[in-house]
Amino acid sequence: MFTACEKNITIWDLVTLNVEGTLKGHKDEVRTMHINGDYLFTGGKGLANSGSLLVWDMRNLNPNHPMEDKERNQDIFSFASKNNILYYGTRNHHVRRMNMTTM
């Protein structure tokens, strides 16, 4: 299970309720998360110098596709997926989409 507080994402073991690790990579607060297969998609506040969408490979717990050029200065508030397409809502009232197979 994952929880987010400010810039960090905490990984919990649901059996023992112990913290298993922390994912760090966002420059500002994390606002939404979505799991699909081996990937965790996290969205937050976009800044001028960094994007707000990170894609984590859960097999090695690293941001696999940092998407630094995507959504600068744009906050991401929600995720949904269907048929390998990730949909995400941004502050400017747009719904964007990304192919999760090709990123």
Any idea what the CATH number is for the domain that residue 50 is in? Answer: 2.40.10
**What range does the domain containing 76 cover?**
30-99
CA terminus-to-terminus distance, the chain: 23
Q: What was the pLDDT predicted at 67? A: 57
In a domain, 10, yes or no: no
The label of the residue with tokens 């596709």 reads 65
- Which residues contact residue 9 at a Cβ distance below 8 angstroms, ignoring those fewer than 6 apart? 2, 3, 22, 23, 24, 26, 30, 33, 40, 42, 56
Give phi and psi for 88, each to the nearest 5.
-140, 140
Residues 26, 6, 75, 34: is their CA dihedral positive or negative? positive
Q: What was the pLDDT predicted at 74? A: 81
In a domain, 46, yes or no: yes
In a domain, 92, yes or no: yes
Q: What was the pLDDT predicted at 4? A: 79
SS3 state at 88 = strand
In a domain, 78, yes or no: yes
The whole-model pTM stands at: 0.83
Going from the first residue of the chain to its last (103 residues), give the mean pLDDT of each consecutive group of 10, the final group possibly shorter. Answer: 83 92 86 92 81 84 59 84 94 90 84
In a domain, 7, yes or no: no
In a domain, 1, yes or no: no
In a domain, 5, yes or no: no
In a domain, 64, yes or no: yes
How many angstroms from the chain centroid is the CA of residue 70? 12
Q: Per the structure, how many domains does the chain have?
A: 1
